[in-house]
Structure formats: C-alpha cells, structure tokens
C-alpha cells in the first residue's frame, strides 16, 4: 500500500507503478526498482508493478494469482517463492497453463535475476516475487 495526503488526512492506495522496470535490489523485506523502494511482495506484470499481499510461508492458492490470470501478454511467470523454492499448487499450474502461461518456481533471488535477464531480452515475462 502507498500512503498519500488528501482532503481527509492520509489516504491509503494500492501500490502500483505503471511500467516495466528491472529489480535493482531485494532483501530486508522488500525491493528497489525505478529509483523507488517497496516493502513487501511484488507482482511484475506487463501492465505495471503491483504490491502483492503474500508473505513467505503463505499458501500459494489460485486466489493470490487472480491479477496474473487477468493479465494479457504473459507467456512465462517466474515465481519467487521466498528464501527457498516451493512447488506450485497443481490447480494454480493448471489455471496458468490454460491461459498459455508457463511457470517456474524458484527462490526469490533466482527469480529476480532471471526476470531481469528476460526483461532485458524483451521476452513476454512476468514475475510474482515474495519478499525476503
């Protein structure tokens, strides 16, 4: 979430960066990208970078991937599962496959590095990164 000031005091808004940017750094529970920092997990999609309300150890159910499934232009989803690699739920994998999206779970550090390379190659990639 992002905080801003409005007529009625502090306004809480959903975190969103309307562009594609490589991840410059990660750790301490967040990420740095595009000269900004974000505490918490991220979804990096063709439509932009979004805060993602998932923590290390949370269940990776179909519900947490709704925004990914609603997006177009993704052929490959890198799933940064936190400090250690975890398997993807078969229902999630099937839903992604039905949309033509291949997924590869790995630790968040490996997912960040792979995302940056694939983004630089202008490939149709997205990433779901759990903060470490």
Quick one: tokens of 93? 């994998």
Of 63, 93, 85, nearest to 130 by C-alpha is 85
Q: What share of the chain in percent tops pLDDT 90?
A: 82
- Tell me the C-alpha distance between 49 and 119, whole Å: 13
pLDDT at 126: 98
Average pLDDT, the chain: 90
Q: In order of start, what are the domains of the chain with their CATH numbers?
A: 15-129 (3.40.1230.10)
pLDDT of residue 41: 97
pLDDT at 29: 96
DSSP per residue, 16-69:
EESS---EEEEETTEEEETTEEEESEEEEETTEEEEE---TT----GGGGHHHH
Q: Which residue has the higher pLDDT, 5 or 47?
A: 47
Beta-strand runs (E) in 53-118: 76-80, 102-106
Q: What pLDDT band is residue 17 in, cutting at 50, 70 and 90? A: confident
| CB neighbours of residue 50 within 10 Å | 21
Asked if residues 39 and 115 have their Cβ atoms less than 8 Å apart, the reply is no
Instruction: Name residue 23's beta-bridge partners.
Output: 33
Residue 122 falls in which region: left (phi positive, over 0), alpha (psi -120 to 50) or beta: left
Q: Where are the beta strands (DSSP E) in 81-123?
A: 102-106
pLDDT tens, residue by residue, 82-130: 998 999 899 999 999 999 999 999 999 999 999 999 999 999 999 999 9
């Amino acid at each position: 979430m992002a905080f801003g000031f409005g007529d009625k005091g502090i306004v809480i808004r959903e975190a969103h960066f309307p562009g594609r940017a490589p991840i410059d750094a990660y750790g301490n529970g967040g990420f740095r990208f595009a000269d900004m920092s974000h505490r918490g997990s991220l979804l990096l999609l063709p439509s932009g970078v979004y805060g993602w309300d998932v923590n290390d150890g949370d269940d990776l159910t179909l519900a947490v991937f709704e925004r990914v499934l609603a997006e177009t232009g993704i052929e490959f989803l890198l799933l940064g599962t936190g400090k250690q690699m975890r398997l993807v739920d078969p229902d999630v994998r099937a839903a992604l496959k039905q949309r033509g999206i291949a997924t590869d779970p790995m630790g968040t550090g490996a997912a960040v590095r792979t995302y940056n390379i694939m983004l630089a190659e202008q490939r149709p990639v997205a990433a779901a990164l759990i903060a470490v």
